[in-house]
Structure 1
């Protein structure tokens, strides 16, 4: 299982790091006034809406805005902390990782349901759902990865040279 966990950990790290600019420059436009964004970021969001017929972002229902607000306030700081933990292989990320993953999986269920089954969804509903799907799958995999063992990075995680254990 060592190779699989290494691949998963690399996937999680890439997901966390890539999610930082996505949240700051794209997703947050739903809850932060437009004047705070460069023109190219606003154009990118408008391109996504038009190309993928993303009715959730274009109509911006209150329930969706509240989820994006949580992404900006709760998840964005987590991305930095978790990226650090994955780079340094810190076991203390286990419980926060489970909490984060469960939160995101829970929010993605109504989002994907809306995209796939809403009368407002257009003919590109399946391709739009495929764009959103990694944001369900990766957090779900993170929950499983963190839940299966008490020390996701092993007992030696956090040891200094010389064998003394650092506080985690």
Structure 2
């Protein structure tokens, strides 16, 4: 596995418990959260003043459901395929990267626009913005990188096909 794929592999591995313990709380009613999960959510809310997670808007609940039911299974698939060295995962990683950077971008925009309405100082708003930023940047880089690599594989396959026709 090259360094980029090792990074993506670790990103997906780390993101599995984050999705299960934190992000799923967007769609799971509070009374059904495990005590450890509730503790972590409460700790996060207290430490980061994350008004998005405290009172998720409808659009965020939709994104949360997509993350739990589609992205979470993909994390397991992607880690397995990366571990095996499969290049066929690149297209799916490009799609994941687009979805994750887009949805996190929506969260970042919402934080910028709504932080003051939720009583956050500029310092707290920037801290919350900083917390979400890696989940914007990493998937964006992943989307661009994996798309470029997939296109390279397609160009190579097309060149091989053309060479076979001319032989």
TM-score interval, smaller chain: 0.7 to 0.9
Checking the alignment, whether the CA contact within 8 Å between 1:82 and 1:93 is kept in structure 2 is yes
User: What stretches of structure 1 move > 4 A for 4+ residues in a row?
Assistant: none
* 2:86 matched residue in structure 1: 90
TM-score, normalised to structure 2, is: 0.82
Aligned-partner Cα distance in 2 for 1:58–1:33: 12
Match of 2:117 among 115, 120, 135: 120
* 2:159 matched residue in structure 1: none
Paired residues for 1:45-84 under 5 Å: 45-84=41-80
* 2:130 matched residue in structure 1: 130
Structure 1 segments unaligned to the other structure (5+ residues): 156-168
Greater C-alpha radius of gyration: 2
Could you tell me how far 1:35 is from its partner in structure 2?
4.0
Give the root-mean-square deviation of aligned CA atoms: 1.9
SS of the aligned residue for 1:120 comes to: helix
Aligned-partner Cα distance in 1 for 2:17–2:149: 31
SS of the aligned residue for 1:148 comes to: helix
Structure 2 segments unaligned to the other structure (5+ residues): 157-167
Structure holding more helix per residue: 2
* 1:8 matched residue in structure 2: 4
Checking the alignment, whether the CA contact within 8 Å between 1:55 and 1:120 is kept in structure 2 is no
